[in-house]
Structure 1
Amino acid sequence: MTVTDPHQTQQDSRATPFAPAWFTSALAAPVDIATVTVAGAHISYRAYGPSSRPGVVLVHGGAAHARWWDHIAPLLASDRRIAAIDLSGHGDSDWRSEYTLEVWAEEVMAVAADAGIDGPPVVVGHSMGGFVTWTVAERHGASLAGAITIDSPVHDLTPEQKAARERRAFGPAKVYPSREAAMARFRPVPAQDTTLPYVREHLAGTSIRRSSTGWSWKFDRRIFASPRMSRTVLKPLECRTALVRSGDGLVPASMGDMIHSRLGCATPLIEIPDAGHHVMLDRPLCLVTALRAVLAEWGDRADGPTRT
């Protein structure tokens, strides 16, 4: 399946800093902000839409945070409960002495239980968040309504870990003298020059915090020292699965086919053309369309995952 953008003309107007109405409306949507404690750490999340409804947990990538979904989650929440998590070491959640996919998976399940989602949740993960999503599905597949990954490449290292070890990003923690100076240094990793300016401005402003000495990024750099943040082995899961691939992202067509084969399910593979790895930054409405399509199909079907 290929998703094209019905608002492509609007989306390609990247020279203007002004945000379109759909974006400002999404940011103004009502949101519940809460925390849940998992293995001694306070885990923050943001929830949208009516409670006691079927729902979704959105999982960000490495060094990102829940606010990367601010303009996505409300567009999925008309009849669902949508929760966006800050994994430990990210955003407004506590930091840990060490990080594992397994602990992050338990954080996702705890948020799903606490956020007012009725019944088994769907878990959606981007990039490293996709590895967390697969881990959730392996450990709790029978308790999920589905698992969707967005441009999550199967490699020995995550894109963020690779950039850190090659010293292209995520070096020693920096403190900036002003909010403006910190925001000016915001860059997605891997680099992506197609980011919509109004999305970039919003994420830059929500990715930093003030301290007594200045402004710094919210994530813990120790996450990149963890030995296993990626996935090299996949196996059939006990829940429905779907894959979203960015046309200009990190999952080439051949890898998408390989992931599909390893999962062993009738897994829809959705391509978003002309999208970078961080698809919510340059083709957000296409991403919303793709997720809505999968959720609608699964909502209409009572059967479990179909084995091939």
Structure 2
Amino acid sequence: MREAVKIEDCPEDIEALWAGDGSQLPDWFVSALRVPREEGYVEIDGAKAHYFRWGDRAKPKILMTHGFLSHARCFAFIAPFLADDYDVVAFDLAGMGDSEMRGQADPLARGREFAEIADAIGMFANGDKPTIIAHSFGSGAALTAVSQSPETFAGVVICDLMVMRPPLLEAYWTLRRASPGSGDPDKAKSRYSSYDAARSRYVLSPPQPVGEAFLLDYMAYHSMQRDGEGWTWKFSPEVFRRSNRPDEWLTTGERLVNAPGRKAIVHGEESQLFNRDSAEYVRELGGGDIPIIAVPHARHHLMLDQPLAFVTALRSVLHLWGEQPPATHAAI
């Protein structure tokens, strides 16, 4: 099943948060949301999967997804800057955003989601191989996807995935900071009397200020839904029903280096989860040919800190890959 609606303008994305004509918002943001896009659902294993799509169907394919408990709109103001040169899809992982939960939340099931959504919306129709761009938790799932189906994807851009040397990661956890994919299932059942009450509980993980505060409001609004007279979170409690074993994260560096195909890393220069030592660690593990780009003045949620610099980093990787044969990596 495929249901889709063509959206020539997106006033609901703007006016839901800011009354009036949105003139207090940056021109680049308003213009990005007005780039024509398709919004739709496809049915996969009896559950609806939600996506956005921009650009020309005849051009190279890009498949984007988000971090844990987030949603595809984290790329809604990023993807339009790629739409002139690519066919871009951003999708909600199962049980998050506007996608229904399906199957299991284990890592193997998460990896399969990339091929499932791409196949369902016809991205493989002409033998095309999408390039994956994924953030944080979604990047870990993307590594699983390319490992499961090495011939299916053209490459993967890993955006601020948590990669640390095991001793540093264990020290990080002793500070009671949660690993990606962890959390309380009961939070998904929380109900708030007003939007403001719900908004006050929306926080980033790991905690950080953001460079563009209005983008945090935008992400928060689309993380919630009305429930009668109140508000609830969109994500399903089922997303927490996974093992989330420590070894899954202690070996992330090895998984990244050993994953097949072209890879690049884009991270916030001030990120807690991927820093200069993380880059050195990747090199030591054998990833010397993997391009690593640090976005200045950005933390883990780099699209909320430095969205236009993030766009520039992605454009650079994609452009260089377009000029290089798949068996090589461009040095950046």
Q: Which residue of 2 aligns with 1:87?
A: 93
Output the CA distance in 2 between the equivalents of 1:303 and 1:88. Answer: 30
2:265 aligned residue (240, 243, 255): 243
- Cα drift, residue 23 of structure 1: 0.5
1:194 aligned residue (183, 198, 210): 210
Q: Which residue of 1 aligns with 2:135?
A: 126
Output the CA distance in 2 between the equivalents of 1:237 and 1:162. Answer: 20
CA contact (8 A) 2:72 2:91 kept: yes
Output the CA distance in 2 between the equivalents of 1:218 and 1:25. Answer: 27
Q: Which residue of 2 aligns with 1:36?
A: 42
2:151 equivalent to 1:142: yes
Query: Which moved further from structure 2: 105-114 or 242-251?
Result: 105-114
Query: Which moved further from structure 2: 229-238 or 202-211?
Result: 229-238
Distance 1:163 1:127, change over 3 A: closer
Output the CA distance in 2 between the equivalents of 1:84 and 1:303. Answer: 23
Q: Which residue of 1 aligns with 2:10?
A: none
1:103-118 correspondence to structure 2 within 5 Å: 103-117=109-123
Q: Deviations over 1:258-296 (max 9, x none)?
A: 234446462101011221100011111111000000000
Distance 1:170 1:134, change over 3 A: farther
CA contact (8 A) 2:45 2:102 kept: no
Paired residue type of 2:267: R
- Cα drift, residue 61 of structure 1: 0.2
Q: Provide the alpha-carbon RMSD of the alignment.
A: 2.7
Q: Which residue of 1 aligns with 2:11?
A: none
SS in 2 for 1:274: coil
- Cα drift, residue 58 of structure 1: 0.8
Query: Scaled by the length of structure 2, what TM-score is found?
Result: 0.78
CA contact (8 A) 1:35 1:45 kept: yes
Query: Scaled by the length of structure 1, what TM-score is found?
Result: 0.84
- The higher-RCO structure (CA 8 Å, 6+ apart) is 1
Distance 1:139 1:97, change over 3 A: closer
2:191 aligned residue (172, 175, 181): 175
Distance 1:64 1:174, change over 3 A: same
1:210 aligned residue (219, 226, 242): 226
Structure 2 unaligned residues grouped into runs of 5+:
1-22, 164-168
Distance 1:54 1:45, change over 3 A: same
- Cα drift, residue 163 of structure 1: 9.0
- Cα drift, residue 305 of structure 1: 4.0
Output the CA distance in 2 between the equivalents of 1:173 and 1:39. Answer: 24
Distance 1:116 1:162, change over 3 A: closer
Distance 1:26 1:196, change over 3 A: same
Q: Deviations over 1:185-223 (max 9, x none)?
A: 322111111241221121121111112351111112342
Query: Which moved further from structure 2: 283-292 or 191-200?
Result: 191-200
2:252 equivalent to 1:252: no
Output the CA distance in 1 between the equivalents of 2:215 and 2:89. Answer: 20
Paired residue type of 1:69: F
Percent of aligned pairs sharing the same letter: 30
Distance 1:82 1:263, change over 3 A: farther
Distance 1:180 1:110, change over 3 A: same
Output the CA distance in 2 between the equivalents of 1:271 and 1:57. Answer: 22
CA contact (8 A) 2:291 2:329 kept: no
2:74 equivalent to 1:68: yes
Distance 1:23 1:172, change over 3 A: closer
2:293 equivalent to 1:270: yes
2:246 equivalent to 1:223: no
- Cα drift, residue 177 of structure 1: 1.5
CA contact (8 A) 1:83 1:115 kept: no
CA contact (8 A) 2:282 2:288 kept: no
Distance 1:237 1:92, change over 3 A: same
- Cα drift, residue 173 of structure 1: 2.9
Distance 1:160 1:289, change over 3 A: farther
Distance 1:125 1:163, change over 3 A: closer
SS in 2 for 1:295: helix
